[in-house]
Amino acid sequence: MARSFVAEARRRVGPKRQRIRPIIERLKAEHADAAIALRFRSPLELLVSVMLSAQTTDVNVNRVTEHLFQKYHRPEDYLAVPPEELERDIYQTGFFRQKAKAIRGTMKLLIEEFDGQVPRTLDELLRLPGVARKTANVVAAELGTPQGVVVDTHVRRLSQRLGLTRQEDPVKIERDLQRLVPREDWGIFPHLLIWHGRRVCLAHAPRCEECVVSDLCPSSRV
């Protein structure tokens, strides 16, 4: 799109700081069921599910963890079996060797330094093997203590389309969103964008005519 049209589109919808609250409120009303798609019953199951979700779908992870969590209940359980057995149990999530190694390293550290409990601060979560910022943000938010904004492919795409950031790097996108999104909405905001991206603002064929924030979006075709 030509630069002049982009500038005109931004003028049409107004400054992003004025748009962010209406965007959040409309998306909350439209996607009242927006929540994490992974199924878990404890902080440990949440952590493992998020670690397994890299490079695969939530549906696939839920299919694997349905049986996995019947077998492994505590950090010690993941260390009580040979690495090859854990690899077989998570094989269908892909990258199973790396994931099994990261899970075993995480369980060892949980036992040695956190009394077997999943920590809730970002700094502590980032110390766990195989836990990068996105994973740590997801876990912290789902445990009720969001300390950042999760940036996945949907969040990246929609925040760019909505004119909330011009960045490409997830860390820089998160920084922009933290400055814009009210802190009390840091946990729910990614879910709203994810569900809106899955249902309406599709990657290749966005349904702008059905979008509740089309008048607030500089990329809208309406």
Q: Which residues participate in catalysis according to the annotation?
A: 134, 152
HEC string of the chain equals CCHHHHHHHHHHHCCHHHHHHHHHHHHHHHCCCCCCCCCCCCHHHHHHHHHHCCCCCHHHHHHHHHHHHHHCCCHHHHHCCCHHHHHHHCHHHCCHHHHHHHHHHHHHHHHHHCCCCCCCCHHHHCCCCCCCHHHHHHHHHHCCCCCCCCCCHHHHHHHHHCCCCCCCCHHHHHHHHHHHCCHHHCCHHHHHHHHHHHHCCCCCCCCHHHCCCHHHCCCCCC
